[in-house]
Chain A
Amino acid sequence: MITFYFIAFLSIFFSILVISAKNPVHSILYLILTFFTFTIHYILLNAQFLAIVNFIVYMGAILVLFLYTLMLINLNKDSEPVKPFMVKLAGVVGGGILAVAIASSLKLLGTSNPVLLQNPDLGLVKNLGKVLFDEFLLPFEVSSVLLLSAMVGAVLLATKEKEPKAA
């Protein structure tokens, strides 16, 4: 129980650092830490498959992709112009109100019962695999098409346009 609150505190702390760090590289590093805390949350919830996927896909692939991009852009120096203070305040207040609003509306729907692990095997690969390839087979296949098209799109977007051929 203490573990949860401690990890939760770390999650919030690192995510604040993500948005407040001046250097984008630092932001990415903090984001990696945040996602690491998330992985721990998944383990605490006994969602082992998700924990592994989060660890590999998010931290290993996606965030490394971010780093690569930054490297490509070569924007390591802090060149970002700072927004006016009032805009920042408005952003923070807006975000805060949103948090309150979402929390209150979700609270109306849910009850405050403790999260009990009814089925210890729920988050195991075997169990999830059965569900995924049984009920969600079609969405799974469709998502493969989505990934393929995203890949093609990314390649297409990122390649330099060829110089118009001289006639």
Chain B
Amino acid sequence: MNQLIWLIPILPLAGFIINGLGRNSLSKSVIGFTGSLLVLISFGLSIAAFFQVKSTGVPINVNYFTWFAVGTLKFPFAFLIDQLSAIMLLIITGVGFLIHLYSIGYMHDDEGFGKFFAYLNLFVFFMLLLVLGSNYLILFIGWEGVGLCSYLLIGFWYTNPDYADAAKKAFVMNRIGDLGFLLGMFCIIHFYNSLSFSEVLPAIATSKKGVEIIAICLFIGACGKSAQLPLFTWLPDAMAGPTPVSALIHAATMVTAGIYMIARSNILFTLATDTTEIIAYVGLATALIAALIALTQTDIKKVLAYSTVSQLGYMFLGLGVGAYTGAFFHVLTHAFFKALLFLGAGSVIHAMSGEQDMRKMGGLKGKIKTTFTTMMIGTVAIAGIPPLAGFFSKDEILAHAYAHNPVFWVIGVITAMLTSFYMFRMMYLTFYGKFRGTHEQEHHLHESPPTMTIPLIVLAILSFVGGFIGVPEVLHGHHELAAFLEPVFKKSNEILGEHHLSESLEYALMGTSVVLALAAMGWAYIKYAKNGSVPVADTEERPALTSISYHKFYLDELYDLIIRKPLDWLSTFFYNIVERLGIDGLVNGIGKGTIETSKGLRLLQTGNVGFYIFIMVLGIIAVLFYSVFGLTKI
């Protein structure tokens, strides 16, 4: 098995090369088949690796070559598959394969079919590199690579300037975070003279040097990649990309890279208690604000995007309160149900001939049954209603949050309630009531082809049963995931200790969140399904609170005001004063000065030979005097 590890990332890379080079010459079916098959083989290898890790309990560590060495600093090119990366591998290749499959149907009529698959394969390659890397540097290659692919895929339909701008926004926001990550790596090198997980993490556990600064830098990196406050505004805009991209990159895999990275370096964050506190607050604020924004969005993908941000906030809350297993559990379940929801949304959009505005949908329940059923499963899962996947993972985070600070729990539950509300609002607006679109759209309504529905069904099943790998003990289950991940989080858990909530308290907490989620669902049902109310058109006035939420708390405008405007002002200043007056002035001044001086000096050239000779004689005299005095000095 160890000899085959390198195939896992190389196969998608081969797919990228084949599809990239043959994007114009190969037929669509060949491209789709190649792209999907290679990822499927990677998935098979990942399963093999997973079971090897599971059975032996020993991480697979393969060292290929020393990439480069500077002084005492060595950077090996090595892969590490432990329990954490094994699960990530399964998510990436598994969900990735399903989304590739789905894309064959979804992108079938697109001109850039080959290009799309090439990018998608490249993304899978970089994402695999990210989780496989045995040191921060390889992780960083993958980190940057997925950022690049994200940029390419958001701007896939680059002829639309808005989409191209969204791509740029994502890229720039990610750069800010990446700078933090980079600084974090420099700090690690400074303190520990290595970047390998196997050397740095044990060293951190013993010496605890510079943990806060490293942790905060890495967290900034994670903020950018995983769309946390204040760097989350790129993610909703990233919905400009094709829907499978939103599902794969901006819901299931790439945005969880930050969580993976923090979970990977969990011991560091466990020791950096101040930073984890910040992480918890940031996560909580992100979760709440994103949920509030999602309440009033009318674009079906935007709702899901904010929902993703909110769920990512949840995961960060989990990391912040020390529920590493819970956070990672949520990554796993979220990958299932959010990919499902996005793909479902894609299917709806496909059926609606490209319409994304929920105000123009409605009553689709009977027309696209498979999509409706699977999406409903996803919605119930994300809303945290047992026994679907979301309930277990969310509950675990909430329980830890309560143990850490009950206020966290309160806000978390409110967010969960909001989640339930906006998700069901989305479902009811889309599938219930009367059809509000044009006649033509109604005529074209159709269920998606099997390549699209099969992934939906598979993901629906996973969303349904995914939670059972982590049934909490209080429900007399066995937390398989926690047991499996135990070696990774061992040291952190030893430091943090078990949270001790009484059984009745845990029941009460669970009960409250479930009841609130159900209540929210009921409220949404009454409001949108029964009364059939529809969000007002953009032209109409909204109530103040709704307006704030609809306009995303004016965050983009705020950033515009506090960052872009001063920068603009500064640039204008530099352009007008420094560049035009300073540098141009200097350059032109030298030219002008030369001309003016020459105009003056020109008058010396009288053309009078006698004068020239006189000056020459004076020059000779000067030279002679210099030599005389020079010689006397010596």
Contacts and interface: CB of A to CB of B under 8 A. Distances in A.
Interface in A105-119: 105, 108
A83 B611 CA distance: 12
Chain A: interface size category = 10 to 19
B64 interface: no
Interface stretch (B214-222, B341-349, B547-555, B620-628): B620-628
Given A90-B614, A98-B621, A105-B627, 11 more contacts: A83-B610, A94-B621, A98-B617, A98-B620, A101-B621, A101-B628, A104-B628, A105-B624, A105-B631, A108-B628, A108-B631
B159 interface: no
B590 interface: no
A102 interface: yes
B597 interface: no
Interface string A84-110: 000100110011011001101100100
A104 B610 CA distance: 26
A95 B618 CA distance: 9
A22 to B, nearest CB: 18
B612 to A, nearest CB: 13
A90 B624 CA distance: 18
Given A87-B610, A101-B624, A101-B625, A108 B632 contact: yes
Nearest to B611: A87
Chain A contact surface mostly: helix
28 contacts: A83-B610, A87-B610, A90-B614, A91-B614, A94-B614, A94-B617, A94-B618, A94-B621, A95-B617, A97-B621, A98-B617, A98-B620, A98-B621, A98-B624, A101-B620, A101-B621, A101-B624, A101-B625, A101-B628, A102-B624, A104-B628, A105-B624, A105-B627, A105-B628, A105-B631, A108-B628, A108-B631, A108-B632
Contacts of A108: 628, 631-632
Interface string B600-634: 00000000001000100110110011011001100
B620 to A, nearest CB: 7
Nearest to B618: A94
Interface of A: 83, 87, 90-91, 94-95, 97-98, 101-102, 104-105, 108
A102 B628 CA distance: 9
Interface residues of B, number: 12
A104 B632 CA distance: 11
A101 B631 CA distance: 13
A95 B617 CA distance: 8
A104 B621 CA distance: 11
A94 B624 CA distance: 13
A159 B57 CA distance: 111
Contacts of B625: 101
Query: Could you say which of A90, A97, A98, A101 has the most chain B C-beta atoms within 10 Å of its C-beta?
Result: A101
A130 B314 CA distance: 109
Contacts of B627: 105
A49 to B, nearest CB: 31
Nearest 8 A/B pairs, CB to CB: A101-B624, A105-B628, A94-B617, A101-B621, A105-B624, A98-B621, A97-B621, A108-B631
Contacts of B617: 94-95, 98
A98 B617 CA distance: 8
A83 B610 CA distance: 10
A98 B621 CA distance: 6
Contacts of A97: 621
Contacts of A102: 624
Contacts of A105: 624, 627-628, 631
A12 B610 CA distance: 23
A99 to B, nearest CB: 10
A28 B8 CA distance: 105
A102 B625 CA distance: 9
Nearest to A107: B628
A80 to B, nearest CB: 13
A102 B632 CA distance: 14
Interface string B215-233: 0000000000000000000
A154 B632 CA distance: 46
A104 B617 CA distance: 16
A102 B621 CA distance: 8
B530 to A, nearest CB: 113
Contacts of A101: 620-621, 624-625, 628
A101 B625 CA distance: 6
A83 to B, nearest CB: 8
Nearest to B625: A101
Contacts of A94: 614, 617-618, 621
A91 to B, nearest CB: 7
A95 B621 CA distance: 9
A90 B617 CA distance: 11
Interface in B113-152: none
Contacts of A83: 610
B633 to A, nearest CB: 12
Contacts of B621: 94, 97-98, 101
Contacts of B632: 108
A90 B621 CA distance: 14
Interface in B178-234: none
B272 to A, nearest CB: 79
Nearest to B631: A108
Nearest to A109: B631
Contacts of B624: 98, 101-102, 105
B113 to A, nearest CB: 80
Contacts of B610: 83, 87
Nearest to A87: B610
B617 to A, nearest CB: 5
Contacts of A91: 614
A23 to B, nearest CB: 20
B49 to A, nearest CB: 88
Nearest to B615: A94
B188 to A, nearest CB: 71
A97 B623 CA distance: 12
Contacts of A90: 614
Nearest to B627: A105
Contacts of B620: 98, 101
A35 B175 CA distance: 90
B510 to A, nearest CB: 108
B631 to A, nearest CB: 5
B353 to A, nearest CB: 88
A101 B627 CA distance: 10
A87 B624 CA distance: 23
Contacts of A87: 610
